[in-house]
């Protein structure tokens, strides 16, 4: 039987949902109650460009020995009281950067796939700072999990559509930044190895005020975003 795919969000909608690190997210998956039989099996899986992992399943299984899956079991839950109504939505607690990816709920009955729903989780972090003086300097926060530090990593800092600074191919690409930020915007190089891509902006000008966005890509997939609002006084 052909599966039905619902709730798919692509990278174009990356900035619409705001999900904060350390909080929780819910992923919808509703099936008709007539499908709830003794042989029903429901799986929630997370897929990225390089991996496919089991997040949670029904009925629960003790055969999951992989460390990552065990960690998911501690943080991933069904809304147990609603299962009888066909609600197999997933709650994932204590969100982390590495939780980003495409989540698929697949429902099997008598070994046939009878339903599937997809959604894409993008983690966003928002910070607001104090008022900074003209001519001074500021560090705009962007911290990612060290597991994302690979050769395929790309980090952009933008103010609206203007490229403030770029990290790609394992190094800063100062020649790509907008001329207004040349020699004023830098990464904290010694901290990059720890996943710290905060932006140091110096010699602040009135035109620098506004919202800055740190966008992180892994294998060309959007995996992380951090917004920082710069107020000058």
Minimum mean pLDDT among 28-42, 89-103, 118-132, 211-225: which range?
118-132
Which pLDDT score, from 0 to 100, does residue 180 have?
Answer: 95
Q: Both 206 and 140 in a single domain?
A: yes
Which pLDDT score, from 0 to 100, does residue 13 have?
Answer: 31
Q: Both 222 and 211 in a single domain?
A: yes
Looking at the chain, the whole-number percentage of residues with pLDDT higher than 90 is: 24
Which pLDDT score, from 0 to 100, does residue 187 have?
Answer: 95
Looking up tokens 């909080």, which residue turns up?
23
Q: What is the mean pLDDT of residues 132-146?
A: 86
Q: Both 226 and 129 in a single domain?
A: yes
Q: What is the mean pLDDT of residues 82-88?
A: 86
User: What is the average pLDDT value for the chain, to the nearest integer?
Assistant: 78
Which pLDDT score, from 0 to 100, does residue 176 have?
Answer: 94
Q: Both 105 and 141 in a single domain?
A: no
Question: What are the tokens at 102?
Answer: 């495409």
Which pLDDT score, from 0 to 100, does residue 15 have?
Answer: 31
The C-alpha atoms of residue 227 and residue 215 are separated, in whole angstroms, by 9
Q: What is the mean pLDDT of residues 72-97?
A: 83
pLDDT higher at 173 or 120:
173
Query: In CATH, what number is assigned to the domain containing residue 216?
Result: 2.60.40.10
Structural domain boundaries enclosing 224: 124-232
Q: Both 97 and 174 in a single domain?
A: no
- Choosing from 66, 92, 121, the residue where a domain stops is 121
Residues ≥6 apart with Cβ < 8 Å to 161: none
Which pLDDT score, from 0 to 100, does residue 172 have?
Answer: 92
Residue 45 is assigned to a structural domain of this protein: yes
Number of domains in the chain: 2
Question: What are the tokens at 186?
Answer: 């830098």
Which pLDDT score, from 0 to 100, does residue 14 have?
Answer: 31
Which pLDDT score, from 0 to 100, does residue 71 have?
Answer: 67
pLDDT higher at 28 or 163:
163
Residues ≥6 apart with Cβ < 8 Å to 230: 129, 132, 138, 140, 201, 204, 208, 209, 210, 211, 212
Which pLDDT score, from 0 to 100, does residue 204 have?
Answer: 93
In the structure, what pLDDT confidence band is assigned to residue 124 with cuts at 50, 70 and 90?
A: low
Please check the confidence at residue 97 and state whether its pLDDT lies above 60. yes
**Spatial strand order in the sheet of 101-109:** 52-58, 41-47, 101-109, 112-121
For the chain, the C-alpha Rg in angstroms (whole number) is 21
Which pLDDT score, from 0 to 100, does residue 175 have?
Answer: 94
């Amino acid at each position: 039987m052909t599966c039905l795919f619902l709730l798919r969000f692509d990278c174009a909608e990356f900035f619409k949902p705001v999900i904060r690190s350390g909080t929780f997210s819910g992923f919808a998956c509703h099936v008709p109650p007539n499908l709830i039989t003794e042989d029903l099996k429901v799986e929630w899986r997370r897929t990225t460009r390089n991996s496919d992992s089991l997040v949670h399943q029904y009925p629960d299984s003790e055969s999951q020995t992989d460390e990552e899956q065990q960690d998911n079991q501690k943080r991933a839950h069904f809304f147990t009281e609603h299962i009888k109504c066909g609600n197999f939505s997933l709650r994932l607690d204590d969100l982390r950067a590495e939780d980003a990816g495409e989540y698929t709920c697949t429902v099997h009955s008598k070994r046939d796939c009878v339903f599937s729903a997809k959604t894409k989780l993008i983690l966003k972090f928002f910070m607001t700072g104090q008022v900074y003086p003209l001519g001074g300097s500021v560090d705009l926060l962007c911290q990612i999990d060290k597991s994302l530090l690979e050769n395929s990593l790309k980090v952009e800092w933008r103010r609206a559509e203007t490229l403030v600074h770029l990290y790609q191919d394992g190094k800063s690409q100062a020649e790509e930044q907008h001329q207004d930020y040349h020699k004023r915007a830098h990464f904290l190089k010694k901290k990059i190895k720890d996943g710290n891509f905060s932006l140091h902006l110096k010699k602040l000008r009135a035109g620098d005020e506004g919202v800055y966005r740190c966008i992180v890509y892994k294998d060309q997939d959007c995996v992380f975003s951090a917004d920082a609002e710069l107020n000058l006084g």
